Each structure stands twice: as C-alpha cells, then as structure tokens.
Amino acid sequence: MNLVGNLFGSSIGRKILMAVTGLILIGFVIGHLVGNLQVFSHPDKLNGYAHFLRSLGPALWIARIGLLVAVVIHIWAATVLTLESKRARGGEPYGVKTWIQATLSSRYMRWTGVVVLAFLLYHLAHFTLGVVQSDTFKETEALRHYKMTADYHVLGFTVVRAGSEVLDVHRMVLLGFQPLVVAIFYIIAVGLLSLHLLHGMDSLFQTLGWRNARWARSLRTFVMLACAAYFIGSAAIPGAVLTGLLKPVPVTPSVAAHP
C-alpha cells in the first residue's frame, strides 16, 4: 500500500493526518491573531495588512483552499477515529474512573470541535464575506473606504502606499463587535477554541513523537501558556470594544471620499 493509502487507510495514519493538519491550523490561528492585534494600532496598520492580503490574489486563494482541505481532512480523520473508538468499546461509554482522570479539554474535545467549526463559518460570514456585518457599517458606502495616511511595510518593503484607498477593515471590526451578543459569542467561542487547542497541541506532540518522559512536563506547561495567551489576545479585541477602549476613528470627508 502506498503512503497516501497508509495515511488514509489506517488508524495510525489518520492520527498523523489529524496531527499534521492540526499543526497547519494552529499556525493559521496564531498568524491570524497576530495580524488582527494590529487593531490596537493606528487604522493604517490593520487596513494596510488587510489590503496587502487581498492584493496577493491567486496566492491568497491557494492558501485558503489549502486551509479548507486541512479543515476537511482534520474533521474527517477525527470523525473516523471517534467511530472506530466507539466500535472498539462496543458502543459503551468510558468508565467513570477514566472520565474523571481525563482533562477538561479532552473530555469535551469533540464538542468544542463542533462549536469551533460553527464559529469559523460565522466568522467567515461576519468579516470575510460581510453578509452578517453591522448595519451601521453597511449603511453608507463612504464608511467602507479609508485613505492610507502612511506607507504599510512588510519585511521592510512598502506594500501599500500612503494615499491609497483601501477597505476600512479597522472600522468594520470595531463596528462588528459593538453588538453585545456578538462580542460575548466571540469571547465564548475563542475560549472553547483555546480548550480545543489545549488538548489538540498536547496530542499532536504525542502523535508526532515529540514528547517523552523528560520533555512531557515542560511541553505541557508551554501548551497551557500558549493557549492562555491565545485566549487573552483573541478575547482582548471584542473586550476592548465592549469596554470602550477601542472606538472607530471618526470619518472625515477627506478620508471617506472616492478618488
């Protein structure tokens, strides 16, 4: 049997697929958060960053398709492994002692996975597609545009020049989190995602053979700190909007005007 057949046709192969796709998705959520934290800087930062990503064109779509494939494979492998586990137990649940010894994140791994998937779909509809965006943001075309006041750089190269008119993603994010229900939903969702990452990162180290008796405790501490930092960083954005620490910059005619 070839390598692909071994990966998709055996339990060990499916665990490796889950670990590798999980690693890809972890890299994405961390990079996504780092980019989004620019919301705490001048609007030029987040707006320039978003415009740069859009300017990648085909490369951006290749990355999106790659992430979609990783998500599908991750969900498929998790589902098949869960069904195999149930069949191996004859459909009986785990014993009480085993359940008590399990960590909170591992007990609810499947449920947090379902919620994370729902959150991902809503997040795409909210900010990427804009179909559930705030009526305040959609009410006038002027609010959707922003004129860069400074150059935006990536690795020292100017990728968006001052004076360029770009989509006002900074304002979109702040207005998007102003409804209390939406902000609370995001905070709860990233909390569940952090729990999912806690068990997932711990498991992938084991699956890929990166954890041993000597490293186990240190890796566990690193994973817990990383997931806590991810939650704090992710929750900080809607939290700052709710508390008024982040407010949309007033739109002036010179900023909103079309060329």
Position 49 scores a pLDDT of 94
Q: Which residue has the tokens 């490293």?
A: 215
DSSP class of 157:
E
Helix (H) or strand (E) holding 223: helix 216-243
φ and ψ at residue 165, rounded to 5 degrees:
-95, 125
- Angle at CA of residue 173, ends 177 and 60, nearest 5°: 135
The whole-angstrom distance between residue 218's C-alpha and the CA centroid of its chain comes to 25
* Rounded-to-integer distance, Cα 187 and Cα 240, Å: 11
Helix (H) or strand (E) holding 247: none
pTM for this predicted structure: 0.78
Position 97 scores a pLDDT of 41
One-letter-per-residue 3-state SS of 36-93: HHHHHCCHHHHHHHHHHHHHCCHHHHHHHHHHHHHHHHHHHHHHHHHHHHHHHCCCCC
Position 236 scores a pLDDT of 96
Where are the alpha helices (H) located in 95-215, listed in sequence order? 96-101, 104-107, 109-123, 135-138, 169-176, 180-207
Burial grade of 24 (CB within 10 A; 0-12, 13-18, 19 or more): middle
Position 216 scores a pLDDT of 73
List the one residue out of 235, 249, 192 whose CA is nearest residue 36.
235
- Relative to beta strand 157-160, strand 152-154 is antiparallel
List the one residue out of 227, 185, 237 whose CA is nearest residue 26.
227
- Angle at CA of residue 9, ends 4 and 14, nearest 5°: 85
Beta bridge partners of 160: 152
243 by DSSP, 3-state: which?
helix
What is the fold, at CATH topology level, of the domain defined by 3-256? 3 helical TM bundles of succinate and fumarate reductases (1.20.1300)
**Residues in the chain, pLDDT under 50:** 94-106, 253-259
Token readout for 15 is 């665990």
